Amino acid sequence: MVTAFNPSSSAEIRSLAADALERLGVAAIGTDGDVEARSPITGLPYATIPSSLTAEDAAIRAAEVFTTWRDVPAPRRGEVVRRLGELLRLHLDDLATLVQIEAGKIRSEALGEVREMIDVCDFAVGLSRQLHGLTIASERPRHRLTETWHPMGPIAVVTAFNFPVAVWSWNAALALVCGDPVVWKPSDHSPVTASACNALARRAATDCGIDPDVCQVVFGGAEVGRSLASDPRFPLVSATGSTRMGRELAPVVASRFGRSILELGGNNAAIVAPSADLDMTVRAITFAAAGTAGQRCTSLRRLIVHESVADELSDRVERAFARLRVGNPLHDDPLVGPLITQEARRLMENALDVARADGGSVVGGERMFADQAPEASYVRPAVVRMPAQTEIVRTETFAPVLYVMTYRELDEAIALQNGVPQGLASSIFTTDLREAERFTGPSGSDCGIANVNIGPSGAEIGGAFGGEKETGGGRESGSDSWKAYMRRSTATVNYSNELPLAQGVVFE
Ligand code: UN1
């Protein structure tokens, strides 16, 4: 379906951003700063902002502020995060506009991203009163053995363009209640949204009488990431982005015995069994594969369909993709906005060429609105029926391309699902209890996320988020992910008048 496309100009985007920033009361954009802000909606720069601190200055301040922040009681630290949640609620609309401008998200998904920040703040506030340790029965009389969780130190957080602020908030909200200052290197694509959110976090701290340097932001490319990764003042580096980026950063952190939380590439599949509710499945697939223009790490990229329903389902998905409204997120109320860059579109086009050469048949995938927005990259989401899971299918292409393959036996489907280097998210659509349990059990999906009758994307913040293999193994956001942001101290206290040694050792 092609509807009228209403382009935006850079001037319009600049003025929308300036108005939002004014209401947010944070650093204004201009034209003579040294950090360039671009929008995928036009594909053009729309403003600049002044560069923030250097990574070195941020590390110095973070290390200083840690010496007092770690002694603030956790429930009081939680008050800062509660205040941040209030400010995010207050500025939800304006922050969503900035997310739209810099990530090209549709309104509902941009609001959802800010909502995700609010949710994790609420979660972290509760957590600030539940950083429980353990008391363990000692083998010695009148001895107390405990495990206590302590603040760890300044945390470096590296985030990607596609969730320009939610992923920071997963890390920042937890790190703050855990007593760790945060230094954030956002994606080069989202400096304005990042500086607005960081400014709100600093305001929250100030409102609670806390040094605002518990939250800092640094801009810059890969060299800034490398400098944070190699800096021993950051005992933990939490990085979200491509597997290539993780492969560069992780050894640098490991070589100084730092810890990392890695949330890297995904190549997420859904298995569709013969018993699946196809109406629901088509809707779920369409959102998971084409939503966010296929630019979530959890986006659905591979469909593994039982041969008895493959033709019907593929036809329906192709029709659904053909009807999707693609357009300018600021004007056209679309379901699919632009890709982040021309380079992203070229990678998509290249993947489709390779898939064709491998025997795939491609429906969709063409560039749209090139006349009205020549620097931007709007595309029709593509469905590709593949004869086999070839190398290109096993590669993550960060764009709306859905490869469809067929299977006969569930074992074969699970082997295909697991037969890729990445291990983030996965789904099965079935109404057969045995299949569902098999899929989520130990010999089923090898991913960090295994869903039944919902797509692989759109996780709630309450569960631990992350995946295995080349996805990096990190876990963020809910459940007990907070433990990664603290150090564990085992303390044995002898309150007897004797000195018994463990394991019955005698040393008189
Ligand atoms: C990402 O794309 O890096 O589960 C994060 C989801 C979102 C987060 C995605 N809650 O799709």
Q: Provide the residue ranges of all domains of the chain, joining segments of one domain with +.
A: 10-264+472-488, 268-465
* Residue in 387, 389, 390, 383 with CA at minimum distance from that of residue 362: 383
Counting from 1 in the atom list of ligand 1, the atom nearest the Cα of 460 is 10
Task: From 172, 221, 219, 180, select the one nearest 200 (Cα to Cα).
Answer: 172
Identify which of 157, 238, 296 to mutate to test ligand 1's pocket (most ligand atoms within 8 A of the CB): 296
d(C-alpha 275, C-alpha 153), whole Å: 51
Domain 10-264+472-488's class? alpha beta
Give the pLDDT confidence of 467-482 residue by residue, as tens digits: 999 999 999 999 999 9
Please write the tens of the pLDDT for every residue from 50-89: 887 899 999 999 999 999 999 999 999 999 999 999 999 9
pLDDT for residue 141: 98
CA–CA separation, 464 and 424 (whole Å): 12
Q: Write down the pLDDT at residue 215.
A: 98
Distance CA 288, CA 466 (A): 17
Distance 373 CA to ligand 1 centre (A): 28
Helix, strand, coil % over all residues of the chain, rounded to 5: 40, 20, 40
Expressed in angstroms and rounded, the spacing between residue 457 Cα and the centre of ligand 1 is 6
Q: Pull the structure tokens for residue 213.
A: 């340097």
The vertex-329 CA angle with 325 and 334, nearest 5°, equals 15
Distance in angstroms (rounded) separating the CA atoms of residues 428 and 193: 35
In which element (H, E) is residue 35 found? strand 35-39
Task: Report the alpha-carbon distance of residue 266 to residue 274 in Å, rounded.
Answer: 26
pLDDT at residue number 2: 58
Q: How far is the CA of 320 from the centre of ligand 1 (A)?
A: 23
Measured CA to CA, the distance from residue 184 to residue 223 in angstroms comes to: 14
Q: Tokens 């009361």 — which residue?
A: 25
Q: Of all protein residues, whose CA lies closest to atom 7 belonging to ligand 1?
A: 458
Q: 74 CA distance to ligand 1 centroid (A)?
A: 28
Tell me the fold of 268-465: Aldehyde Dehydrogenase; Chain A, domain 2 (3.40.309)
Regions in the chain scoring below 70 on pLDDT: 1-2
Number of Cβ within 10 Å of residue 6's Cβ equals 12
Q: What is the pLDDT of residue 32?
A: 84
The single residue listed with the structure tokens 């309104």 is 107
Is 356 in contact with 362 (CB distance < 8 Å)?
A: yes
pLDDT at 30: 85
Q: How far is the CA of 505 from the centre of ligand 1 (A)?
A: 53
As given in the structure block, the two tokens for residue 391 are: 């190398």
Mapped onto helix, strand or coil, the DSSP state of residue 500 is coil
Compute the distance from residue 461 Cα to the ligand 1 centre, in Å: 9
- Test site for ligand 1: of 298, 340, 424, most ligand atoms within 8 A of the Cβ: 298
Residues with CB under 6 A from ligand 1: 116, 162-163, 167, 240, 296-298, 457-459
Active site residues: 263, 297
User: What is the structure's pLDDT at 190?
Assistant: 96
CA 471 – CA 424 distance, rounded (Å): 6
Residue nearest to atom 6 of ligand 1 (CA): 458
Neighbours of 300 (CB within 10 A): 29
State which ligand 1 atom lies nearest to the alpha carbon of 425.
4
pLDDT of amino acid 29: 86
Give the number of the atom of ligand 1 that is nearest the alpha carbon of residue 298: 11
Tell me, what's the pLDDT at 463?
97
457, 461, 471, 481, best to mutate for ligand 1 pocket (most atoms within 8 Å of CB) = 457
Cβ atoms < 10 Å from Cβ of 38: 23
